[in-house]
Amino acid sequence: MNLHEMLRQRSDTGQPVRVALIGAGKFGSMFLAQVPTIAGLEVAVIADLDPDRAREACRNVGWDEARIAGTRFAADGLDACRADGVEVVIEATGHPEAGIRHALAAIEAGRHIVMVNVEADVLAGPLLAEKARERGVVYSMAYGDQPALVAEMVDWARAAGFTVAAAGKGTKYLPHFHQVTPDDVWTHYGLTPDQAKAGGMNPQMFNSFLDGTKSAIEMAAIANACDLGVPEEGLKFPPCGVDDLAHVLRPKSVGGQLDRDGMVEVVSSLERDGRPVFRDLRWGVYVVLKAPNDYAAACFRQYGLPTDLTGRYAAMHKPFHLIGLELSISVLSAALRGEPTGSTRAWRGDAVAVAKRDLKAGEMLDGEGGYTVYGRLAPASRSKAGRMLPIGLAHGVRLTRDVAAGAVVTEDDVALDAERLTVRVRREMVGRFG
């Protein structure tokens, strides 16, 4: 609650917090839109594969030409990581290999790193976070995205003395969405392909939100940051509105749908027959608390928290997340407090590749949101024991044998290049934390 004042004091000394942004897509653009109204925060470098596109993104969000002229634009993210005077690097490419490469470079250069790139974090986050701690810099989740917002709620609950029964987010989900491909994704968003193209919307990226992959990735990130359990058979996506969170997201032993207390789960904004859930949480996040005693349970009721019928479980939620518009909270927390807004601490969950259809030997996997596989949440222990292929390694790799629809793809099913950066770092992470 003091970041603004800390930044004001810092700004008064003439030493602004200087940032490098890698990736000027939607998340990065939303952050850039806020920068002119945050005195004491400066973007020194913007790196994007297309620097001209990045300049245009700045214009689109309202930057004047003087601010654009005073910012360095680069095509190589490694240059941004090593730029003089930069304190915090924001990795917002969404590409696992690029994210790992940039995180390692930023850490080596002594820069704090804010990982918008959840894909890279789930692939190797425990190792990256450890390397950052050893170097004395912050490795942080990105505030505004659901994992960091959930981590904040979990931390609040535990610091206040509550048991966390469940934590997660809402999304639009039906079981057949797992088989949706980029060819038919727009029908589920109520758009035509031409409307989506005019809006600059990438069908494979948006499909990753629909087919369950992004939910698997984000819940793995939350489990790893908050030391929460992962469902053995993957996310159940129970239909649930905000009024029923405490009833649905409690252990089966007391009438809920979870295996036990302390789990991650995603709730659907659609009933299984396609009807909308009443007061859904499609854009929000939640935490379910368990009272430690009868007195606390009575206080839940007295002060308006929605509870289950026992009164021992209560739910809190935030109905929205503003992604890049809130990202400065992570940047300033790292630079001014030396603290992350959520950070990977263990390897509890993984996002693994599952065949969308019968796949044949020789086919090339196309990764997150594509035509061949989707991501399913799995306990890290099961992922390691079964040599499951993480979704972050399932792009641009060729199958060496057939995989049936609905089956998990394993490392033994594909030809992985052992010298590839992501493969090397992933295997180091599994060896260190598995």
- pLDDT value, residue 139: 98
How far, in Å, CA of 159 to CA of 403, rounded?
A: 46
How far, in Å, CA of 360 to CA of 35, rounded?
A: 49
Per-residue tokens: 86 = 């930069």
Output the CA–CA distances (angstroms, integers) from residue 71 to 49, 166, 352, in the order listed: 16, 43, 39
Is the Cα dihedral 394, 117, 217, 123 positive or negative?
positive
- pLDDT value, residue 197: 80
How far, in Å, CA of 213 to CA of 371, rounded?
A: 12
Cβ contact 367:248 at 8 Å: no
How far, in Å, CA of 18 to CA of 44, rounded?
A: 6
- pLDDT value, residue 234: 96
Output the CA–CA distances (angstroms, integers) from residue 409 to 126, 423, 430, in the order listed: 23, 16, 17
Task: For the chain of 434 residues, list the mean pLDDT of each consecutive stretch of 10.
Answer: 94 95 94 97 97 96 96 97 97 96 98 97 98 98 98 98 98 96 93 83 91 98 98 97 97 96 98 97 97 97 94 97 96 98 97 98 96 98 98 97 98 96 97 93
pTM (2 decimals)?
A: 0.96
Q: Are strands 285-290 and 313-318 parallel, antiparallel or unpaired?
A: antiparallel
**β-strand partners of 141:** 115
Q: How many of the other CB atoms lie within 10 Å of CB of 327?
A: 29
Per-residue tokens: 317 = 């939620």
Residue 48 burial (CB < 10 Å; 0-12/13-18/19+)? buried
